[in-house]
Structures are given as structure tokens and as C-alpha cells.
Amino acid sequence: MSELAVAMPGLNLNNPIMPASGCFGFGREYSNYYDLSELGAVIMKAATGTARLGNPTPRVAETASGMLNAIGLQNPGVDKIIEHEVQFLAAYNTPIIANIAGSTIEEYEMVAAAFNKTDHVHALELNISCPNVKEGGIQFGTNPVMAAKVTERVKRVSKLPVYVKLSPNVTDIVAMAKAVESAGADGLSMINTLTGMQIHLPSKRPLIANKTGGLSGPAIKPIAIRMIYEVKQRVDLPIIGMGGICNAEDVLEFLLAGASAVAVGTANFGNPLVCREIIADLPDVLNRFGFASVQEAIGKAVFV
């Protein structure tokens, strides 16, 4: 195995770097910048049962060391994604991870089942940061019982491994991780964005039309590291880590905290070549800090 390779359920990665869901579309735009086969894997933009138009604009705002977004899960629906986008990505020699979302448990099941029927998707990432319309809008991702329920139901219809993407908007991240572990999750993906707000001074109104948005970028990295570190000590699932990664040093920090692979989101906006550059820099950074391989660095932070 090469120094950058990592094996996780359903995923034999040549390297641990993948673009994060929603920050890379379905890869088409970035395929103009470099060969997507260089990536460890690609995580697609969220898919829902039917097409969604998303939120009104403005949908993004810049913040100190980060940004807020409220795209609103805009996507053409799972069938079109399978027909057009999965087909497009399948031409590259890199695993595809499908990010799935829904407003009801049935919608999650339906989307998961649809991706299971294609040959080209290697794993599912369950985006549970959505409110459940049937249960009065309770967030799947902030309630351990709901999170476990949706995980269990999706697992039942899925041969593909399921990585549950945890929301950081909770008091006890370990409780969330344990709940989805006992519901059968194959892995974790963490963290999603933190809910925030920015007020536009001239209009005295929230700048984002949706009022609140999800904070991402370097501002949230310490929170991601802390949460992965806490979860790694108590839960026995492989973790795809994310939150503010900009360079190979950041990647090593995530590996040390306990991530087996990482996703890079917001940093693609400031530099469309960032994933490729991180992959190129990673061997040197590993060596500089005394590691011969990615595998060797995983979870090597000193746990006290």
C-alpha cells in the first residue's frame, strides 16, 4: 500500500483527500482545473427525492476566517443525479460518495435505495442536518433518537456502507456518534456547518435571505478537531474529518485527532486547485512530523 492509501468500509482510497459535499457540485466545474482521478474520492452535492430549488438569495456571506451558507439543498433530484452526474463522475478513476438528504425518513430511504441500484456509487453519506417535516421539524441531526432512527432505516435498504454526517450543533457529540453507531452506521463524517448569522448594517437585516446560515471554513476547524478527538476515544467507527481544512498540515491535524480521511470544502472557493495541492504536499508533511504513511498517523494524537 502506498504511503497515502487508506482503506475504509466500501472505500479503497489512493489518498485521504476528497472534496466536501456541496462545495464541489458534481465535479464538472473543477474537472476543468485538474483530473478528478487524482482525488481520493468525490463526495457529491446532497441529493433529495425530488428536485429542490433551494433558498432565496443572498445565500452566502463572508465571515472572519470563513463563510455562512444557506443554499437550501438545491439539487435536481436523485434520478437526474444518477442519470447525468453519477455517469459523468463514473468516467474518473475515483470512488463516488453520494450525500443524501430528506424531509422525512421515507425520503432518505427512497434516495438511499436509488443510489444502491447504480453500479458506480461506493458509499452513502447521510446528511442528517435536516428538519423532519413529519415530526414537526425536529432536526434529525440534533436528536440522538431521530438520528438513530433514520440511520437504521437507511441501513435496512442499503448494501452500500453508510457514513453518518454529524451536525456540530449539539451539546454532546459523543452521544450522537454512539446513537448512530448502535443503529448500524459504518462510519462517521464530521463536521457539518455550525448555525450562524450575520446582520447587514445598512439594512439592519440578516444578510442571508434565509436569516441563518451554516458557518464553515478555518473558523470552525478547532471545533471539528475537538469533536473528532472526543468521538474517537469513545466510538469505534472510521471517521471522515472536515471543517476548515486548507493545507496538508491541517490534514495531519485531523488524522492525529482520529480521522481516517478528510474532506475539503470551503477552501475550494479560494483556490480551485486546493485538493490537488494538498495531495501533493501531504507526503512531505507526514515525513516532517515522523510518519511514514497516512495509516500510521491516524489517531496518533496523545490521548490523556
Partner 1 sequence: MIKKEKLTIIATEQIAKDTIEMKLKNIHVSETVVPGQFLHILMEGHTLGRPISIADIDKENHIVTILFKVIGAGTKRLAEYSVGQQIDALGPSGNGFPLWQDEKVTVLLIGGGIGVPPMYCLGKQLAKQNVNVIAILGFQTAEYVIYEEKFNQIAETYIVTDDGSYGNKGFVTDLLDQVEEFDCYYTCGPLPMIQAITGKLKGKDGYISLEERMGCGVGACLACMIPANNESGYKKICSDGPVFRAEEVTI
Ligand X SMILES: Cc1cc2nc3c(=O)[nH]c(=O)nc-3n(C[C@H](O)[C@H](O)[C@H](O)COP(=O)(O)O)c2cc1C
> Using CA of residue 74, residue 79, residue 80, residue 82, what is the dihedral sign?
positive
Q: Tell me the β-bridge partners of 138.
A: 132
Which of partner 1, ligand X, none interacts with 46 (beta carbon under 5 to 8 A by kind)?
Answer: ligand X
The single residue of 23, 130, 246, 275 carrying the catalytic annotation is 130
DSSP state of 47: B
CB of 217 to partner 1, least distance (A): 5
- Quickly list DSSP for 51-108: -B--PPSP-EEEETTEEEE-----B--HHHIIIIIIHHHHTSSS-EEEEE--SSHHHH
Query: Which cell goes with 183?
Result: 443503529
Tell which one of 9, 65, 90, 120 touches partner 1 (CB under 8 A).
Answer: 65
Q: Is 71 annotated as a binding residue?
A: yes
Active site residue 130: yes
CA–CA gap between residue 78 and residue 71 (Å, rounded):
17
Query: Which cell goes with 27?
Result: 465535479
Tell which one of 4, 17, 44, 61 touches partner 1 (CB under 8 A).
Answer: 61
Tell which one of 3, 5, 9, 54 touches partner 1 (CB under 8 A).
Answer: 54
Q: What is the CA radius of gyration of the chain?
A: 18
Q: Is 69 in the site for partner 1 (CB under 8 A)?
A: yes
> Footprint of partner 1 on residues 245-284 (CB under 8 A)?
266, 268-273
Which of partner 1, ligand X, none interacts with 50 (beta carbon under 5 to 8 A by kind)?
Answer: none
Tell which one of 21, 24, 122, 224 touches partner 1 (CB under 8 A).
Answer: 24
Question: Residue numbers of the site for ligand X (CB under 6 A)?
Answer: 20-23, 45-46, 69, 71, 73, 99, 127, 165, 192-193, 216-217, 220, 242-245, 264-267
